[in-house]
Amino acid sequence: IPRQLAENGLDRSEYALKFSDQALRAIVRNYTYEAGVRNLEREIANVCRKIARRVAEGKPAPHHVTVQSLSKYLGPPRFLRDDWQHDDEVGLAMGIAWTEAGGDLLPVEVSLMEGKGSLLLTGQLGEVMQESAQAALSYARSHARELGISGVDFDKLDIHIHVPEGAIPKDGPSAGITIATALISALIERPVHHDVAMTGEITLRGRVLPIGGLREKVLAAHRAGLKTVLLPKRNKKDLVEVPKKVKRDLRFVFVDRMDEVLPVALLPEAPPSQAN
């Protein structure tokens, strides 16, 4: 900021421009999407140039840049804040992913339809992620009795698994437990807690394997206002990389097996209705 203020003549005592902390956070979240600060400085420079021009033309110019004034200088936000406000829903689970620009949310949707036993995968999923979806389905089928879905005829059921934002390619095994949770939720018709995020690779036997990028994934969940994060137990040691404030704000549940995921992720079964 000092460099851009100096380059645009806005650091003089008669006109000292200041950015509020909230405005800087809004620029980072809504106008840049990167791991570094190059674009952040570029956007700060854009604001400074436009205000400097008003000063040079003798027009009224602000001494403080606020969140409310950002759109005047930078236009509408270019990136939506990575939150996903929804109710507890059947067949919708919230994953968290690592990207080159940091962490992001990875919602997974599942719909069931009468059909011929097909598995449809959409959302521009890479080969490894497609294999994770197939592993999640095989886990559900092989554990049908424990899950209470032994009566489901999978040969007459089409399953559609979709990961929104289809224009963005997605890959990697760490969405395994998210896909499995959304799928099982749809099969047993129990909603998923909307404030729970999760990440972890799943095996055919329901083991939850460790993942990479834990710090970025946890920060994404925290930014989005989620409350509980399910993580592989073997990633517990990596929690040291997460800022203390974030750790205080979130509840972490470490799991080894898929049957430890479901009681946390799914709403309790509704009690059977009693006849009068």
222 φψ region: left (φ > 0), alpha (ψ -120 to 50), beta (else): alpha
Q: How many CB atoms lie within 10 A of CB 71?
A: 13
Name the 3-class secondary structure at 107.
strand
* Most distant CA atoms of the chain, gap in Å: 80
Specify the 3-state DSSP secondary structure of 158.
strand
Would you please indicate which residues are annotated as catalytic (active-site) residues? Answer: 174, 217
Q: Which long-range contacts (CB under 8 A, 24 or more apart) does 254-258 make?
A: 255/177, 255/200, 255/208, 255/230, 255/231, 256/207, 256/208, 256/232, 257/206, 257/207, 257/208, 258/139, 258/177, 258/180, 258/202, 258/206, 258/207, 258/208
